[in-house]
Amino acid sequence: MYRSKIEKLTDYVIGEAVAALLEQDASISGASLANRLKVMAMTEKDSDRKEALALALAEIRQEFSSARAVTEPPPRSYGERAPANAKKH
C-alpha cells in the first residue's frame, strides 16, 4: 500500500512500454518488453526515470525467462546505420 515514488514510476514505465508495443501492433512478450525498456532507457535524460527503467528491466528479466535471453542490442530505428563490422546476411 505504501510504495515509494520510484516503485510507482517503475510500474508506470512498464505500462508505457506495453502501450508503445500495443500501438505498434507488436507482440507482447518478455523479450519484446525488455527490448522496449532498453530503447527507452537509452534515450531517457531524467535520472529518476532512468533508475525506474533499470529497475523495470531487472523486474521483467526476473519474471520472464524470454527476457533473460535478450542480450543483443535492441533493433535500430529507421535510418540508423548498422555498425561497419556488421554482417548483412
- Tens of pLDDT, residue by residue over 18-59, are 999 999 999 999 999 999 999 999 999 999 999 999 999 999
By CB neighbour count within 10 A (0-12 exposed, 13-18 middle, 19+ buried), where does 66 fall? middle
By CB neighbour count within 10 A (0-12 exposed, 13-18 middle, 19+ buried), where does 85 fall? exposed
Residue 1 has pLDDT above 70, yes or no: no
- pLDDT tens column, 55-81: 999 999 998 887 777 655 555 555 555
pTM: 0.73
Grid coordinates in use for 67? 527476457
Please give the pLDDT value at position 75.
Answer: 56
Q: Are 56 and 37 in contact (CB under 8 A)?
A: yes
